[in-house]
Structures are given as C-alpha cells and as structure tokens.
Structure 1
Amino acid sequence: MLKSLEHHLGHPDPQHAWLSRGLLIGVAVLFAALWIGVLGPLLALIGVGALVVGYALLRDVRAGLVAVIAVAYVLPFATFPFDVGVTPTFLNAVVGAVFFVYVLRVATRREQRLEVAAVGVVLAIFILWMLVTFSLGIIHSRPTPTILRHFLELLLALTMYYVVLNAVKRREDLIFFTRILILAGTLSAAIAILFYLLPVQTTVRILNALARLGYPGGFGALRWIEDNPNNPMRAIGTAVDPNVLGGMMILVGGLTGPQLASPRPVFPRWALVGMYVLQLVALFLTFSRGAMLGFMAALGVLAVLKYPRLLLFMGLGGAILLLLPWSHAYIQHFIEGLQGKDLATKMRFGEYKDAFRLIRRYPWTGVGFTGSPDIDLYVGVSSVYLLVAEQTGIIGLGLYLLTLAVFLLLLWRRWRKGMPDAQLESILLGYGGALVGVMVSGVFDHYLFNMVYPHMATLFWLYIGLGVATSRLIDREDK
C-alpha cells in the first residue's frame, strides 16, 4: 500500500503526481476537520502529536528517548482525557512505547548484541527482588488498579537503564542526548521561574488550564513553606512538588556544571551560563534544603575531582542569590532546618522514627508495595533509602545500594585510567556528579523510588544508563 502511494505521489506524469498529492491533502484536511470536530482542538493536537511520536518511535528508539526526556522534564504528570480502568499518562505512553519497540527489536534480532554491564546484572537481581516483595505484599493487601499501574511504571523506569545503554553507542548520540537533557531541564527551570514571577491569579489560571491534562488546579496547587500562605511561596513549575522540582534541577545542574569549565562544551559557553543561571534560580525558588545540599554535593565533587573553577561559579551563584528579595527567608529556612526547629524537620524526624519501627518489624522482605499490614504502621518516609527498606526490606536496600555503588565504582575506575578526550570526560563527570547530587538529596527525599513520581525514577536510571554508555564509549575510543 505504501509503495503504491509512493508510486502515485512520485509519478513521472506531473498532472498525475499533482492530482495524487491534491487528493492526499484533501483527505488529510477532511480527516483533521473531523478529528477537531469530535475531540476539540487541544485533544486533536495531542492526538496528532501522539501519531507523530509513534511513527518516529517505530523508525528509531532514540526518537522515543527524546520524547521520554521531554515529557519527564516538562509535563511529567499530564494524562490523556480518557479512562481505561486507570487514566494513562503521557509518560506511560512514551515509556511503554520505547520499551515495546526495544523488546520488538530484540525479538526480531534487529538488536544484535544486548549490553548490560555489571550495573545491569545487579539491577536485574534487584528488579526480581522487587517482584518477590510485591508478591509477598499482596498476601496482606490486595492491590488496586492504580497501585498495579504505579508499580509497573516503577519497573519500567528501572528498565530504562538497559534501553539507553543499548541505544547510545556513538559519540554523536551521546552528545545529542546530553544536549537534549540540558535543554529540557532548562525549559523546566524557565517554566518554574515564570510561574513564580507571574501574579498568583495568572499562575492559577494556567494551572487550571493544565487541569484538563490531569494537573491539580486552583490555589490549592500552589505551595508555601510549611503550607502557610503567610510564608514565601515555593516554586513548583509543572513538577507539582517543589522538592521534586529541586531534584530535577540537581540532575540538569550537575550535568551542566562541568560544561561550564570544559574546554569543549556541548553548547557555546555563553548559552551554558544563561541556562545554568536559570537552573540555579529555579532550584533556589523551591526552598528545598535537601535539593540545595544535593546540588552543592554534586558541584563540590566535580570541583574537587577536576574543575576547581566550579567553586568560582558556585560563589558567584551564591552571591547573586543573596541579592534576591527572598534571600533572608531562604537563609532563615535553611538554618531552622539544620537546627531541627521548624515543623517540616520535626515531621521528617517523626517519619524516620516510624520507618525504623516498620523495618524492625519486617526487616528482610519489607511490606511490599500495597501498604502496611498493620494498622499502627504506615509506608512512607522522606528518605529514598528508608523507603526502599520499608518496601523491599534490608535485602532490597542492600541490592539497591550495591547497584549504585557498582555504578559509581565503574565511573571512578574509568576516570582514574585517564581520559583521552576532554569532551567525553566532562560528560562522564557530569552524569556522575548529577547522580551523586540526587543520591545525597535522597537522604532527605523519597522521589527516586516513590511510585507517585515515576518520572524521577525514569530520569535517574536514564542518567545511570547514559553514564555507563559514556564509560563504554571512552573504553572503545581508548582502544
């Protein structure tokens, strides 16, 4: 059919060719008019976008990865306007499509060699253990369709590591995806700053418009320190939660930082400076202390290992932030957190205490992903590591930490061998630094393993996959 269509469109007779093209355009216009009439302009636009993405995915899994990055950073909670038992999200669609296409490539042997690396081996064991603990958990609590979907989302997020590692094998691909991540993260930062600076009523109107895509609307969607409107507002952008937005800024900021000092950056340096400022301001406006500590850890590690000039950028960034009108409130908020005096910190300490009670009662396998079997205990704590232990037990936490340790060791050993290329070195250290930052922030936040925020787990394992892919690429070029 496609060959016949190509024959008519490219017919040697000009009149035949133009008539064929005119008929095709006419059919397309009629179809578009019907689509818009039935669905409305917004939904029709979404549908056309989905068709374009689907077509691109079938041609190249890398196109799907671009869609995953764009959705995860810009519209992570957007949903489709229909229900199939559960309401699917944009992220469900693109991640599911990428995974399906990649499995299809493996099944049809278009993917000749499947790479996993040592990180992938340990990760596979952890995924299997998650399935075991999930199965044990449903004994005491029946999963709802929403819980099943969230658990599947979390599993697919972890498998992004394998897809990325096998999709990115050339220098050009690595540089391309690094650029896409920086651009998407910067766009997310710009949106967050815009929402923050606009009048509150205007921001609420925008959020109400996004409510058609499943976002929370109204003034209740806005966030303030300690949920008190008398305190400074916290930036959320399209990430819904300020701490989650802070984690997103750690990832993109840690990746951008080494490019500022690299002799061969992936963007012009003046553009990188502008993007870095946006990322830093967005991070500051979240008032997330855990995210700021993680960001400082990321740049601190990079400065110590290779780029001492980053200390200068950190100092200049700090000086600029101190000039902002919210600086006094931010510093006070930060100090109160360190002293454990504010309400949020006291609540976090209470969560830690309750988490240790649950882990002591169910130490080895945890309670699974469907809830606590005991009425006096609950699942949920502001620490990714304690959350992993609650749901998968000490065994699961050990496997999770081992996976991260193997990854960091892999990058460390590759860097210590010597780097033949300054550009690849800055990219390798960027992924490593960004991930160290969110690992540190994970001590105080749970978004890397929380089923409510699958886009953060997706980005996290996508970054790990790109870090390992960078190491593999350097090994090949070194030989």
Structure 2
Amino acid sequence: RAVVQYMLWFYVLTRIIENDGDIYAFCATMIGTATLIALHGIYQYIIAVPIPSHWVSQAEMGVRTRVFSIIGSPNIMGSYLVMIAPLTAAFAYYLKPLWAKMLMWGCTFLMCLACLFTFSRGAWLGMAVAVFIFALYRDRKLIALMALAAGVAVFIPQVANRITFLFTSEFDLANMFGGRGGRRREGLKLLYSVNPWFGYGLGRFGGAVAMQNQINSNISYFYMDNYYLKTLVEMGYIGLGGFIFTLAGFVFNAMRSIHRTKDEPVSTIAVGMFAGLAGVMTHCLTENIFEVPYMNAYFWGAAAIVIYIGFLRARKQQGRQHRSL
C-alpha cells in the first residue's frame, strides 16, 4: 500500500481536473505552501535552530544547522523544494504582469536559498538537474546563472565543507561502515542470499514499512537511503525493472506532453513540473523520497497535471464547447 496507493493520485487528478482554473488552483496552493516553508527554513537558519548531532559528521562542525521547517527532515524538505521551485520559475515566465513575474522570481529565490540551507547534497544535485532540464526547454541562459550561483555557493564555508568532505578519508570510512556504502553492501548481500530476481519481499527491508514491522530477528534493519536500491532488495530485478519502466513511461509521455503543447503558454507549466519531478527522481538515488506519503502523493499528482496538459486538456475543452452548442 505504501508503494502503490499513492500512484492512484495520478488517475484521480487526471479525471477530476476540468479546466485551467483547476490547474492554477493546484499550482497556487503548492507554490504558496512551499514559499511559507522556505521562509520558515530561512528563519531557522538565521536563529541557528538546534539539530541532532548525527545530522552532520564531526568533520563538518562548520555546519551550524540544517533547516527542516515543519517537515522534520532536511533531506525531505530539500526534495520538496526541488519539486516546487521549477514550477514557481515557470509561472515567472508564464504570467504577464511585471509584479507577478517579480513575485514568482522572489518565491523561487527563497525556495532555492532554503534548499541551500538544508545542506542536503542529494537535494542540491536534484536542484541542479531540475534547473538544467528547465533551462533546456525554456531559457538556456539559466544554465550560466546556475553555474554562477554554484560558483558563489562554494565560497560559503559550510557549503564547501559539505562538498569537500566527500573527498576525505573520514567520509570513506563513514560511508563503508554505517554509511550508504555499508548499507548498500548489506542490502545486496541480503538480496543475493534470497532471490535476486524477486527480492526479499515488498515492505520487508530498507524502508519505513520494514523499520516499523521488523519481522525477522536475524537481520539488522535500517534505511537504504536509495529508493531504487531499496526497491531492488525488496522486489528484485523484476520489481526494480517494473518500477523504472513506470518512471521511464512517465518521462517519455511527459516529454510528449510538452512537445504537443509547445506553441501554447501552458506548456511552460508542464516544463516546470516535469523539471521538478526529474529532480526528485534524481534525489531518490540518495534518499527514500517516495517513502514519505505526501511526497509520493505530490509527485504523482504533479505527474498527472503534466500528462493532463498535453493529452486531456484539449479534449476536455472540446467537450465543453460541444455541450455549449
């Protein structure tokens, strides 16, 4: 249920959206909420909110805090902002009034700044992918702007510490013993000890369901911090292949949706959503993003709107015109 149920939001939203007003309402709610969360995160950084000691290593003591807002996790907050920031930038291109454009750019800046203050390297990577995809479709000058912003960011001591720590012996040691490298090794060891084609069993290892229902006392339970690897261990090569096929099908049809509406302004909204979702899929390489119920629901809800814009929007508009005749 934790894996499949939230995918149903895709089918629900593609059926209940009736017009562009519904799309705008959905997007406005997401942008408004994300802006408030970003502001709260920036406030947390200013006051240096206390955080658990295990959120940073001893070698990264220059990182005084990591923001998390009401979400409770810097990594998940970062991924949430990765999803919404490109959509907000899309509205900066989509809207006509200057004040509305400036407002959207301001909200986008706040989200990017709050994402930086999460000090989530996976979220940073996801944001870079999201900006790159958005820039390819809408404004390639943003690639240079992203490079400039990244160049400035690395001169911030806390950011530099988070990045350079990846290339230290301390990181190698922490990674292999208790870090993601060690978890990957143990997960694959379990996979090959059972059935590599079908896995250990859905919901039985590497995620929230397994952590809450530890049914085997002979193994140590932990989060895999890689949703694709978790899926591989639980569902084997066949299950992971099916999941990747599902995501690839969405990516392919999202690109078709954008292409079908390329001459319409609403295409920019689809581009923004698609870019954000691509960033989340990238972040899943280092975090169990889809394990968080609302992130899973947001993802498939946004995916539904991308597909609706390219495949169902024109059909529903024609249906309303026929009914009015």
TM-score normalised to structure 1 length = 0.57
For the residues of structure 2 that align with 1:239 and 1:345, how far apart are their CA atoms?
A: 26
Q: What is the one-letter code of the residue matched to 1:243?
A: N
Number of the residue aligned with 2:323: none
Number of the residue aligned with 1:385: 228
- Indicate yes or no: 2:85 matched with 1:253: yes
Number of the residue aligned with 2:157: 328
For the residues of structure 2 that align with 1:432 and 1:418, how far apart are their CA atoms?
A: 14
Q: What is the one-letter code of the residue matched to 2:57?
A: E
- Indicate yes or no: 2:263 matched with 1:436: no
Q: Is the 8 A contact 1:223 1:234 kept in 2?
A: no
Report the Cα offset of residue 442 of structure 1.
Answer: 0.7
For the residues of structure 2 that align with 1:295 and 1:459, how far apart are their CA atoms?
A: 17
Q: Is the 8 A contact 2:19 2:317 kept in 1?
A: no
Report the Cα offset of residue 297 of structure 1.
Answer: 0.5
Matches within 5 A, 1:42-53: none
- Indicate yes or no: 2:122 matched with 1:280: no
Matches within 5 A, 1:34-433: 152=1, 154-198=3-47, 200=49, 224-226=55-57, 230-232=61-63, 233-262=65-94, 264=96, 268-315=100-147, 317-318=149-150, 321=153, 327-337=156-166, 341-342=170-171, 345-346=175-176, 347-360=179-192, 361-363=194-196, 364-370=198-204, 371=210, 373=216, 375-376=218-219, 378=221, 380-417=223-260, 419-422=262-265, 424-433=266-275
Larger relative contact order, structure 1 or 2 (CA cutoff 8 Å, min sep 6):
2
**Count of aligned pairs between the two proteins:** 303
Alpha carbons of 1:235 and 1:220: their partners in 2 closer, same or farther (altered >3 Å)? closer
Identity of aligned residues (%): 22
Q: Aligned with 1:237: secondary structure?
A: coil
1:21-72 Cα shifts (integer Å, max 9, x gaps): xxxxxxxxxxxxxxxxxxxxxxxxxxxxxxxxxxxxxxxxxxxxxxxxxxxx
For the residues of structure 2 that align with 1:466 and 1:368, how far apart are their CA atoms?
A: 29
Q: Is the 8 A contact 1:257 1:310 kept in 2?
A: no
Compare CA radii of gyration and give the structure with the larger one: 1
Report the Cα offset of residue 472 of structure 1.
Answer: 2.5
Q: Unmatched 5+ residue regions in structure 1? A: 1-151, 201-218
Q: Is the 8 A contact 1:171 1:473 kept in 2?
A: no
Q: Is the 8 A contact 2:60 2:162 kept in 1?
A: no
Q: Unmatched 5+ residue regions in structure 2? A: 205-209, 319-325
Superposed CA RMSD in Å reads: 2.9
Alpha carbons of 1:299 and 1:230: their partners in 2 closer, same or farther (altered >3 Å)? closer
Alpha carbons of 1:258 and 1:315: their partners in 2 closer, same or farther (altered >3 Å)? farther
Q: Is the 8 A contact 1:193 1:282 kept in 2?
A: yes
Q: Aligned with 2:248: secondary structure?
A: helix
TM-score normalised to structure 2 length = 0.82
Q: Is the 8 A contact 1:223 1:236 kept in 2?
A: no
Q: What is the one-letter code of the residue matched to 2:73?
A: D
For the residues of structure 1 that align with 2:216 and 2:109, how far apart are their CA atoms?
A: 47
Q: Aligned with 1:234: secondary structure?
A: coil
Report the Cα offset of residue 283 of structure 1.
Answer: 0.7
Report the Cα offset of residue 272 of structure 1.
Answer: 1.1
